[in-house]
Amino acid sequence: MKYLTRMLAFTRLMTLRRQWKAIRAILYLLSAEQEAKLATLVFGEALRAERHPMPQFYGSEHVESYQPWGDAVDKAYEQSRDEDPRWAYKGIATWLAVVFYETRNAPLAGLQTLHKEVAHDFERLRALHERILAVRQAA
């Protein structure tokens, strides 16, 4: 059973790595205005995911009791590839939030590394939104 669990975790890591590579490429191409819009969405998705009883399942429609993850990441990734930037940003924000919580306590070293990479951009965007709010309130 231990071997099967590690194999499933490794398969999940490969899927998330592939998706992260595409999402990270989008993040580095954003202008400051686009990044501010995405930061607002990330902040909102983070709040909603935190309030969910099981944040790693936030946004999932189909959750099986034996699965360690839901289908939200795959749906969000597909949405991130949408032609409409509003939908694409929403997908990226959801993907970041769910992957952040899904990999937070992962036992596999590769998933821990992925968590650190995702957490860096996730927290950076959350902090950007908080700075924008502080500037607006100070004005």
Q: Strand, helix or coil at 43?
A: helix
Judged by average pLDDT, the poorest of 15-29, 35-49, 59-73 is: 59-73
Cα of first residue to Cα of last residue in the chain, in angstroms, is 58
pLDDT band of 60, cuts 50, 70, 90: low
Predicted local confidence at residue 50, as pLDDT: 86
| 135 has a pLDDT exceeding 60 | yes
Indicate whether 122 pLDDT > 80.
yes
Residue 126: pLDDT over 90: yes
pTM summary value: 0.89
Average pLDDT along the chain: 88
Q: What is the pLDDT of residue 76?
A: 92
Percent with pLDDT over 90 in the chain: 57
Q: Which two tokens stand for residue 56?
A: 């790693």
Q: Report the domain count for the chain.
A: 1
Reference 94, options 72, 63, 111, 112; nearest CA is 72
pLDDT at 82: 94
The answer to whether 36 touches 126, Cβ cutoff 8 Å, is: no
Q: 40: domain range? A: 2-138
Q: State the Cα–Cα distance between residues 64 and 119, nearest whole angstrom.
A: 26
d(CA 114, CA 110): 6
Tell me the one-letter amino acid at 16: L
Q: Which residues neighbour 61 within 8 Å (Cβ) at sequence distance 6 or greater? A: 70, 71, 72, 75
* Amino acid making up residue 2: K
Q: Are 97 and 87 in contact (CB under 8 A)?
A: no
Q: What is the pLDDT of residue 57?
A: 63
pLDDT tier, 137 (very low <50, low <70, confident <90, very high otherwise): confident
Both structure tokens of 65: 């009791």
Helix (H, G, I), strand (E, B), or coil: what is residue 54?
coil
